[in-house]
Amino acid sequence: MTDSPDREVTTLPPSADPRAGSLLEKWRACCVDGAPPDRETLDVFDLQPWLGHICVYETVDDGADFRIRLEGTRVGQITGEDWTGRHASDVDARFATDLVGCMQKTVRTGRASLHTTRIYQRKFRDAVRLLLPMRSQRDGPVDQIFLALYLDPGPPP
pLDDT tens figures, 128-139: 999 999 999 999
Question: How far is Cα 81 from Cα 119, in angstroms, rounded to an integer?
Answer: 11
Residue 157 in any domain: the answer is no
Kind plus residue range of the DSSP H or E element containing 127: strand 126-134
What range does the domain containing 53 cover? 7-151
Residue 1 in any domain: the answer is no
Mean pLDDT value of segment 39-61? 95
What's the whole-model pTM score?
A: 0.92
Q: What's the domain count of the chain? A: 1
Residue 156 in any domain: the answer is no
Question: How far is Cα 92 from Cα 67, in angstroms, rounded to an integer?
Answer: 13
CATH of residue 118: 3.30.450.20
Task: Report the 10 Å Cβ neighbour count for 149.
Answer: 24
Residue 27 in any domain: the answer is yes
